[in-house]
Amino acid sequence: MVPAQRLLDIPPYPFREIAQLKAKAIAEGQDLVDWGIGDPDQPTPDHIVEAYQKEIWNAEWHRYDETGYGDMAFREAIAYHGRQRFGIEVDPKTEIQVAAGTKDSLALINWAFVNPGDIVLVPDPGYAVYKVNASFAGGTPYPTPLLPENGYLPDLSAIPAEVARQAKLLFLNYPQNPTTAVASHEFFQEAVRWALDNGVVICHDAAYIEIAYEGYRPVSILEVEDAKRCCIEFHSFSKTYNMTGWRLGWSWGHPEIITALSKMKSNVDNGVFLALQRAGAAALRGPQKCVEELCRMYQRRRDLLVGGLNSLGWRLEKPKATFYVWAPCPKGFSSAESGPASTDREAGRGRGREAESSESLSSALARALLVDCGVLVIPGAVYGAHGEGFFRMSLTIEADDPEARIKEGIQRMRDNLELEF
């Protein structure tokens, strides 16, 4: 069976090598500290599950959602959330589209707007979904480098005029996966101005907008004046309410962008189960204490992990948002048995071996952490060329005592790796 060229053209699934190494380690009975995938380990809050349980018996919800945009009561709850949380006015009739999580919208927005040859500006490092679907739609993904010295914000003024002219979409994602960077109101203002000047649609992925620490409240791009003239923003229940498996989210923004997305979506699927939409309304209208508690839990893990890494020689600042830690690879590393990294670089694993093969530094580090320490991290190169030299650790940890696992992982790194910064 030969699949379509568009499928053959995309690079192999970036997590494949990691997944293979992980499967092998587990098959060999290795006890892994898993800082890999970002998937909340806590259950969905009871009041949301209970709301769903109740709604599921209502036969009215057992049929197609024929609205094309989503249940009106749910869209009204989303508009209410917009007022409460961001102080924005969004019209539930024309400016909101219900989605099965955000991933489907991130895909469909490309299909709705990109003609063959159009440029789609994507963050590098960033979530691969934007890029892959831009290619599926016949577009050309164009990476915008996110550099630490710019706070991992794209330098829009550096985008060549010719590229800007051909660009159709600009993907942004703040708080950002994988760098944990956040964006200010001022940055969004600048982005909106740039997009209006260049006739580009901004697609803002706000999946982590509620996962933030110490009172920091990430902003919605729709808070910016004129944003509704050129933006769509994607929201998800996945991270906020531990609902990755449920598949629920929404988009809001310019009515014409919402209409185009809705038209595309109704040709691809028939909307989200209505009982789930009602449960989503209950989540948005209900108490938000569960979100605060979730953030406090991640915050404790964040402090343990960042503190642990800094005790090993890193100099990391605590991320303001997301449940990740993004860290630079040390200059040198090797397994402790083979001697100090500074005197015996060629021996053992880690960087010594990297010098002999085409394996990137971040992959070599991830491999050394896995093989020498039984610790799983994601090499930054997986997220794009500018992710190289970094690695990502997730604070979502499936274990009876996640905090103990963080300490265990740090201890293993202390015992088994020689690090040079």
Ligand X SMILES: *Cc1c(COP(=O)(O)O)cnc(C)c1O
- Give the number of other Cβ atoms within 10 Å of residue 390's Cβ: 22
Task: Tell me whether residue 194 or residue 323 sits nearer to ligand X (CB atom).
Answer: 323
Which residues are CB-contacts of 356 (< 8 A; sequence separation ≥ 6)? Answer: none
Closest CA to 243 of 204, 205, 203, 210: 210
**Radius of gyration in angstroms for the set of CA atoms belonging to the chain, rounded to a whole number:** 22
Among 44, 97, 135, 173, indicate the residue that binds ligand X (CB under 6 A). 173
User: Site map for ligand X, 61-100, x if CB under 6 A?
Assistant: ----------------------------------------
Q: Identify residues 10-49 at the interface with ligand X (CB under 6 A).
A: 38
Structure tokens given for 302:
């964040």
The reply on whether position 244 binds ligand X by CB under 6 A is yes
Q: Identify residues 181-220 at the interface with ligand X (CB under 6 A).
A: 205, 207
Among 101, 218, 280, 387, indicate the residue that binds ligand X (CB under 6 A). 101
Among 44, 97, 135, 236, indicate the residue that binds ligand X (CB under 6 A). 236
Chain position carrying tokens 């509704």: 228
The reply on whether position 127 binds ligand X by CB under 6 A is yes
Cβ proximity of 94 and 117 under 8 Å: no
Alpha-carbon distance of 16 to 379, in angstroms, equals 12
The reply on whether position 319 binds ligand X by CB under 6 A is no
- Closest approach, Cβ 45 to ligand X, in A, equals 17
Task: Tell me whether residue 172 or residue 373 sits nearer to ligand X (CB atom).
Answer: 172
375-376/417-420 β-pairing: unpaired
Binding residues for ligand X, total number by CB under 6 A = 14
Task: Tell me whether residue 378 or residue 413 sits nearer to ligand X (CB atom).
Answer: 378
Among 110, 238, 334, 396, indicate the residue that binds ligand X (CB under 6 A). 238
- Burial tier of 16 (Cβ tally within 10 Å: 0-12, 13-18, 19+): exposed
The reply on whether position 249 binds ligand X by CB under 6 A is yes
> What single string gives the DSSP state of each residue in 260-282?
HHHHHHHTT-----HHHHHHHHH
Closest CA to 167 of 195, 145, 191: 195
- Closest approach, Cβ 162 to ligand X, in A, equals 28
Choices 8-16, 71-79, 144-152, 237-245; region in contact with ligand X by CB under 6 A: 237-245
Residues that bind ligand X (CB under 6 A): 38, 101-103, 127, 173, 177, 205, 207, 236, 238-239, 244, 249
